[in-house]
Every structure is written in C-alpha cells, then in structure tokens.
A and B are shown apart, each in its own frame.
Chain A
Amino acid sequence: MADIHFTLNGQEVAYEGSAADRLLDVLRDTYRCTSVKCGCKEGECGACSVIIDGILHNSCCVAMGAVNNCSIVTMEGYRETDRFKVLSKAFGELSAVQCGFCIPGMVLAAEALLSQNPKPTEEEIREELSGNLCRCTGYNAIVNAVKNAAKEGDGLW
C-alpha cells in the first residue's frame, strides 16, 4: 500500500506512517495541529473533533487508512474563515470559553451543525453538540452562542 494522501486545511499531504495510526496522534505529532485535543482517546468526549469531507468526526476513532483522499479541516484551518469569526465573536460575547480545552472541537461541531442546518433550534443545537463534553460552562453559554452565531452569520452558512 502506498502513502496515504489527504488534504489538511487545504494543503495536500502524504502520510508515510502506518495505516493503523490514529488520526488524532498524526494530526498532533506529525502535522503539529495541536488545536486537536486528546481528552479520552475513546470517542467519548469530542475534544479531538475534526471535519472530514464536511462531516464531524472524532479523530481519535479514525485510522489513517480511512482518510485516504479525504479533506480534513482542523481549527488551524477553520480559524482563517469568516464563519469562524462569527462563531468566535458569539462565543466571546457570552464568555462561553472557560478552560478552553473542549472549545476547538466544540466550535467545529457547531460548524458541522450550521453547515447542515443554518437555523437550528435550541434542541437541534443540543443534539448536535451532544458528543462534545464541556465540564466548565454548563453548556448554556455555548448553546446560546451558537444560536447567536446562526443569527449573526445569516447567509454565511
């Protein structure tokens, strides 16, 4: 089997390691995408969320062989977008970021939601963020921030 080719935040890359390596580790160690956090390595917390071909994934539960020819977006890429700016502003205005460890994953989960459903209800927001644990906020500020971002960013998604 040849190298694994994929696009990382818009850049084409070829990974030469094992197909069984964890995407989470490879993103952090090989490509220095340290916004992707390791909270449990079992798919139970969402801190390592990334977007693969437009869809939210836990990068700890993805082997490298599964991302061949895929396009991966982490916060390192997403933070350059206008959508990020809207989400960041909304989170900032409600002080929705406390310790910050869950946040890059949480914001990508919000992006995955809004890209499918630009005007979500509170229930839909709570459903779509339900795989991203936050121990600090009690979720109010995060859920409200996503709601506000959807309003503010009308047309972006």
Chain B
Amino acid sequence: MEKISQSVIKKDHDPKISGRSIYVCDYPSEGVLCGKILHAKVAKAKVLGVKVPELPEGYFYVDARDIPGDNNVNIVLDDMPIYCRETVEYIGEAIAMICGPDEKVVDKLLATCQVEYEELEPVIDLRKATEAFFNYDFAHGDLEKAFAEADKIYDEEFTTGYQEQAYLETQSMMAEPEESGRMFVHGSMQCAYYVKGAVMRALGCGPSGVHIYQDVTGGGFGGKEAFPSILACQVAVAARKCGKTVRCVFDRREDMEYTSKRHPSICRYKVAVKDGLVTAMDIDVIYNAGAYSTLSAVVLQRGLIAGPGIYKVPNLHVHGRALKTNTSPCGAYRGFGAPQTYFAVEMVMDHIARDLGIDSLEFKQANFAKQGDVTSTSGRYHFPIPIPDMIEEIDQLCHYRQKRLEYSKPQTGRYRRGIGMSMYFHGAGFTGSGERDIIKAVAKLRKYADGTVEVLASNGEIGQGVRTTFPKIVAHELNLPLEKVYYNHPDTARVPDSGPTVASRSLMIVGELLRRAAIKLRTQWIDGEEQEVEEHFREPTFMIPFYIDKFQGDAYPTYAWAVNVLELEVDTYTGITKVLGAYGNFDVGTPIDYNIVMGQMEGGFLQGIGYASIENMDYDAKGRIRNNSFSDYLIPTTKDVPNLQCILHVDKYPEGPYGAKGAGEVPLVGGPPAYLDAMEQALGGVNLYHAPFSIEDTMKVIMKEGI
C-alpha cells in the first residue's frame, strides 16, 4: 500500500467518540430562542390568513412579511420561498416560525395557530403531472434506422421510490445577530457558501453582512446540500426580527416528512438488439421533483447522462423531465439521480439476456464500452475502463459465476436462493463545466510562525473524513507530521470558497488544489514566518468542452467504477429475504486513507441495499407521507446484513491527488439492480420492475407464480 493510503487515526476521532463534539443542538439554551415551524397541513391551498394566538412577551411570530430581502431561496431556479407566499404547495411547507425561550410554550402556541386555507386541486399522482420544471432531450446516431433493423425490440418501464437520507442528526440551524449588525448563521450543513449566498439574499445584505460556520454535522448524504439554505434563511429572518439568537432543530418526523429526499422515478427503456448487441436505446425518464425545483435540474442531468449505463450504445435518445407534484421537494441524495437510471438500465439488460437465453453477465460484457468509446453525451472515455478486471476480481472473492449457475437450476423447498450483479460508473465531480464556470474553487494554506499549517477551504466534514484527508495530503507534500497540519470546520469569514461538499468532488478537486498549494508552500517555505499560498481550479486539458444545452462533451473528467454482487435467500412462506453475502469492488483511484475509503464504501453500499429492499416511503392520495419515523421508514440495522465484503481496484486518475478520484457516492448506486437481479433468480427467473422490493412484493410474486 502506498504511504498516502495508510490509515491514520481520524482528526475528529477523539472529540466525537468521547461525546465532546458540539453539534448545533448541543449549544446551551441560555439566551437562545427556540424556533419552530408552522407547517402547511394541505398539499395545495391559498393561505387566507393565520389566526395567531396572543403571544406572551418574548415570543415572536415570523413569516414572509419579515423578510428584509427577497423571498426566494438561492438554489438553482430559486423558486422556493423562505416562508410561503400566497399559496402553499405541499404538506409541510413553512408558513411561519414561532420563536421563544421555552420550547413547551412554543409548542403550545404552534398547536393553537389556526391557518385558514382555501383548498386548491393538488397534483399528487406523478403519472398525471404535466408541469415540467426541467425538460431535457439529447441524442446521437440514427435511432429510427437502428430500431428498424433490430432483431428484437424491448420496451420496459421501471419505477423507484423515495429514499430518505436518514442522517442521525436532523436538520438543525442557528442564527445569531452580532453586535456589528452582521448575521452569524451556523449549523448542520454540507455547503457553507451555498448557505451564505442564500442568507445574503434573504437579508438583502452584501457579503460582509453575514458569515456562515459549519458546526459538527451528524451526516449529510446530500440531504444537507440544499435544505440547510432554506432553514438558514428561515432562522436568519427570525433572528433579525427577534434581535436574538434563534435555533431550530427539526424533530425526526418533521425531518423525514418535509425535507428533501431522493426523487421517485419512472424510467421507460426501449432497446434495440441486433446480433446479440444493443444497437439503440430510447430512454424516457420522469423524476418526481415535488413542489419546487430546488436541485432537480442537476439531479436529472446526472440521471440522464447515466442513462445507457456502462454500455456502448451507438444510437441513443434520452428524454427526461422533472415534474412538479404537490409534495415535498426532492433533492440531493448520494448518487444524485444516477441510481434511478442505473436501476433501469441494469434491469433491462438482465431481462434482455434472459429473453435471449444467455447469461446476463455475458450479454453485458459483450456490450461494454471501452476506452476511447463515445459517452452518452458524445464525449470520450479517456481512461481505461476497469470493469472487466473488476468482474474477475469479484468473481474470485465470491464465486459469482459458480453460484449463479448453481442457483439457476430449478429450486424446491421453502428457501430459494439467488445471486445478482450490477456494474456501473459514477461521474466524478460536478456534471459538465460546473467546476470551471460556476464553482471556480479556491483553496489556501496558511502557515503560522510556529510551523503549523492550516488548511483553508469550505468543504465540510460530514463523516467522510476531509478533516483528516486534506491535512494528510498537505502533510505528505510538506514532509510534516500530521499533527502539524489541521483543518477546522469552515467559517466563510475566514476561508475561501473551495466549493460545496457534494458530487464526490472534495478530495478529487479540492484535495488536488491543496496538494499543489502544499508544493508551492514547500518551495517558498521560510522558517518562523507566517505565509499563505493559494491555488485555483484548472480544468484538465484533455476535456472535450461540455455544453449543457446540447448535452454534448465530456460530462465528467473521469469516473469511479464499481461492480456489486448480492446473494439472497428468500423464505417463500413469508417473503422475508436474507442477505447472505454482499460484495463490492470499487475503483475510486488511490485511497487517500484506506480505512476512510472503506468506511465510505461499506456505508454507501449498505444504503444501497436498504434502498433496494426495506427503505420504503410513499405518500397517500392527499400527498401526505406516512412513513415519517424510524419505526415506519426502516433503515438497515446491524442484524440485516453480514459483514460487507468490499475490495478496492485502483486505477489512478492523473489529475486527482496521487491518483484519487471521486469516492463518496459510487458505493450506493448499484444496490437496487444487484438486489433485484438476485431476487429474480431466487424467484425462478421472473422479471421485476421496481425498487424497493419489499417482503410484500416478494410474496405477491410467490403467490402469483405459485412458488
């Protein structure tokens, strides 16, 4: 193992394990007002008025009229209001906030607020939704010809459900008016500078009027990419009105029901096959965006780009829409739109192979894209595609082929087994030219007179280890002991904007800036002096420029690759499905810390398995989510899986630090197709079309097929 990959004790290990870390809920309550949101109870209505009970002294009612700036939260289209406008568009939309010193009194006041609604007809059913926030279309090749000449055409539809991030720390934020008039907002978040932009707009102030600090954050997984901007605006407006510090900590039900989740999807795949090869795909994708557009544009883009999977599809048409429904706005969740289309493409490939009477792995292998091939967006796969090697490695690990063959023989008895495989990439970093044109990351190193070096960047530690890996890179280049280099949680008042903590980009992009900065510092190093160096993002020169309006060019500089295998045993009496084995082979380039990377792989993989099986969330005909607690939205416990077996395949990326690529998201993506592939085999070779696939779904098939 390379030196940089050798594991260290994480920098935040001691404070976290000893319980000394202060999360935003842990600051003392003295002098802090508790803020709670008055949520809409209907999916669509005009708000005619709110009868607010008489407020005791020191209690405040805050709504849109109190916003000094603009009632639009900076995200992408900025259509989401801080507090509702004339109408509410989903159950849970914030109408107002009540703030006061005693939580119990605030609760009572909230319960006695009477909102007068004039109910309007909501759009609840995704299939009946027509308003598209985003509508994208791209193609290459000659689709018509390919379908005309095909030996066989397949037309299938796949659906996926919500997935809730279920970070253990709920959304929480705090705003403190400072004596200077500046507003200090801090809390649980992934993207301090996103929050900053949003709060500036809400308060109508310039960059010096606000600063944002990321507190210790109890998990994000994408759920704290955009939503914290909304909550930050809400508490900042409240703090401005009250003239006091306001803290809002969501309870679990509030968080599960009203904050952003993974988009439910409907994906239709029409595939032409000739001589055992896929010659064309016509893909139609619908994502349920919810009531406001938030991040749906970028989520959908990533999903569409992943549409044809890792296969060479010479003739391709992709059409995708993010549709408005009157439900909680969906947003970022680890994988960011790709898990939905990967599920569809992997399943359709399995189904085609089954229909052709060939093994699905063989069929997929025959259709793999190779280095130099054209991507879905007419870019290039610039680097070797390691999937064939990775398949052999995972086969050695878990004897996939042997078991696949064994379980394909007719099974009898109560328990049936299956083994399934998925293979995919995850584009590393922002889609398209985002890094170059929008983010323009800057990172700094500050060396103090005592020889210690501080990393100055805005990427938040959310458990993924950047407080450790960033200093590791810098210490490595400067030949310093790790103790001499440190990285604190970012405060926008003192760190440059190195971009958000999203898109598996922090280590690959910002880590590389820090590596370059460290080299610069090394060459300029003067003992005993305070010095500062800075590095800016440079786009790799090999990139084919990307145009989002045409979906053309290199959508990503490189890719993380993965092969997942799941082995299942189904109890045909109950539908209960046991995960016998979970195997993942991941290529995220050079691991900057082996344990940290393995922690990402294992954690992400288990989220993927949950997404495939037990993590079921839906809304009813009124648009209300009932699975809003940990007893109704089930995430895996220690007892739901054996030890996950993950291995790393290392294909270095020359533009990443020491060859590192994006790692955070890739482990989650392939859970559903591997799980369903195994399930199909266990159920005797049926075709299945949706995830999550619950015990009840399993039982339905068993009863229908007479298994």
User: Is chain B a partner of chain A in the same complex?
Assistant: yes
Residues of A at the B interface (CB closer than 8 Å) are: 28-29, 32, 34-42, 44-45, 47, 74-76, 79, 84, 87-88, 91-104, 107, 122, 125-127, 129-144
Residues of B within 8 A of A129 (CB): 638
User: Which of A84, A100, A126 has the most chain B CB within a 10 Å cutoff?
Assistant: A100
Q: Which 10 A-B pairs have the closest CB atoms?
A: A35-B19, A100-B16, A98-B463, A101-B218, A138-B602, A99-B463, A44-B630, A75-B19, A95-B595, A138-B606
Given known pairs A97-B16, A101-B219, the reply for A45 and B9 (CB within 8 Å) is no
How many angstroms from the CA of A8 to the CA of B181 in the assembled complex?
42
Assess whether A100 is in contact with B641, with CB atoms less than 8 Å apart. Answer: no
Is B21 located at the chain interface by the 8 A CB criterion? yes
Assess whether B18 is in contact with A42, with CB atoms less than 8 Å apart. Answer: no
How many angstroms from the CA of A40 to the CA of B10 in the assembled complex?
27
Residues of B within 8 A of A40 (CB): 252, 629-630
| Nearest-neighbor residue (CB-CB) of A95 within chain B | B595
Assess whether A91 is in contact with B635, with CB atoms less than 8 Å apart. Answer: no
Q: Show 10 A/B contacts (Cβ-Cβ < 8 Å), sorted by A.
A: A32-B28, A35-B19, A37-B218, A39-B252, A40-B630, A100-B17, A100-B463, A135-B168, A135-B603, A140-B644
| Nearest CB of B to A47, in Å | 6
Assess whether A97 is in contact with B10, with CB atoms less than 8 Å apart. Answer: yes
Residues of B at the A interface (CB closer than 8 Å) are: 7, 9-10, 12-14, 16-23, 25-26, 28-29, 165-170, 216-221, 251-252, 462-465, 593, 595-596, 598-599, 601-607, 629-631, 635, 637-639, 641, 643-644
Residues of A within 8 A of B605 (CB): 138
Assess whether B21 is in contact with A100, with CB atoms less than 8 Å apart. Answer: yes
Which secondary structure characterizes the binding site on chain B?
loop
| Nearest-neighbor residue (CB-CB) of B18 within chain A | A79
Out of A93, A126, A127, A133, name the residue touching B630 (CB < 8 Å): A133
Given contacts A98-B219, A127-B639, 13 further A-B contacts (CB under 8 A): A36-B19, A39-B170, A45-B630, A75-B18, A87-B17, A95-B10, A99-B463, A101-B169, A130-B637, A135-B221, A138-B604, A141-B595, A142-B638
Given known pairs A40-B629, A98-B599, A135-B635, the reply for A92 and B9 (CB within 8 Å) is yes
Assess whether B19 is in contact with A104, with CB atoms less than 8 Å apart. Answer: yes
Assess whether B631 is in contact with A135, with CB atoms less than 8 Å apart. Answer: no
Assess whether B167 is in contact with A135, with CB atoms less than 8 Å apart. Answer: yes
Assess whether B596 is in contact with A95, with CB atoms less than 8 Å apart. Answer: yes
Residues of A within 8 A of B7 (CB): 93, 95
Residues of B within 8 A of A133 (CB): 166, 168, 630, 635, 637
How many angstroms from the CA of A28 to the CA of B13 in the assembled complex?
22
| Nearest-neighbor residue (CB-CB) of B221 within chain A | A135
Assess whether A137 is in contact with B599, with CB atoms less than 8 Å apart. Answer: yes
| Nearest-neighbor residue (CB-CB) of B601 within chain A | A138
How many angstroms from the CA of A141 to the CA of B595 in the assembled complex?
9
Assess whether B168 is in contact with A101, with CB atoms less than 8 Å apart. Answer: yes
Residues of B within 8 A of A103 (CB): 16-17, 19
Residues of B within 8 A of A99 (CB): 167-169, 217-220, 462-463
Assess whether A34 is in contact with B638, with CB atoms less than 8 Å apart. Answer: no
| Nearest CB of B to A18, in Å | 11
| Nearest-neighbor residue (CB-CB) of A32 within chain B | B28
How many angstroms from the CA of A79 to the CA of B221 in the assembled complex?
29
| Nearest CB of B to A49, in Å | 11
Assess whether B168 is in contact with A42, with CB atoms less than 8 Å apart. Answer: no
| Nearest-neighbor residue (CB-CB) of B643 within chain A | A140
